[in-house]
A and B are shown apart, each in its own frame.
Chain A
């Protein structure tokens, strides 16, 4: 799986959009971009994934650049409960078992 690079920490004002970047310059054509988050002391939680098109769900939006070398997770209206470590992961989208490698992630602090 390709490696990812994320800033170690970010702050965001409550109610504003949080934009979390991720670089994955060695991503290959069949690798998907996944985002998980880990709220303090809890298990990681899946947020969203995409291959090359932008994606949106009830939690967030994922913007993937045309060359697929980077992406941005957008939380449109950050709340205090969004304070967490956010992990960007790339892996082959194959069925069955997957070895998911978590990096160090971005610690997002939402400020009142």
Chain B
């Protein structure tokens, strides 16, 4: 009955590889997000999708490409991985209804680029 789930939990890969992280929410929310938390623990928003449409793109390199096949899923594909991409990536979701729109976060995916 996990609300926001991510796979994989850990991802170790070599520089230059292409990898994907998947996110699914079963809360019926309309909006989904990707955040990056680097080694200094600073949590930064990367993307937001509302009803499968990209609405926030925080100057993230175009090597990062989010894909939302439906409202319940937001996947993150990363091309040509670099050392600086090593971080914990969190997916989140929120509802459009009302104004008290708390975000529900997934457990995170720890990406290590060697």
Contact = CB atoms under 8 A, between A and B. Distances in A.
A41 B89 CA distance: 11
A96 interface: yes
Interface residues of A, number: 24
B48 interface: yes
A97 B31 contact: yes
A100 B100 contact: no
A45 B43 contact: no
A46 B104 contact: yes
A96 B31 contact: yes
Q: Place the interface of chain B in its size category.
A: 20 to 34
Contacts of B103: 36, 44, 46, 98, 100
Nearest to A47: B102
A87 B58 CA distance: 20
B43 A97 contact: no
B108 A94 contact: no
B101 A102 contact: no
A15 interface: no
A79 B44 CA distance: 29
Nearest to B95: A95
Chain B CB within 10 A, most for which of A43, A45, A101: A43
A49 B101 CA distance: 10
A102 B38 CA distance: 13
B41 A95 contact: no
B24 to A, nearest CB: 14
Interface string B25-56: 00000110000000001111100101000011
Interface of A: 32, 34, 36, 38, 41-46, 49, 85, 87, 93-102, 104
22 contacts: A34-B102, A36-B103, A42-B107, A42-B108, A43-B107, A44-B43, A44-B92, A44-B105, A46-B103, A85-B41, A87-B43, A95-B97, A96-B30, A96-B50, A98-B103, A99-B56, A99-B58, A100-B103, A101-B45, A102-B43, A104-B41, A104-B42
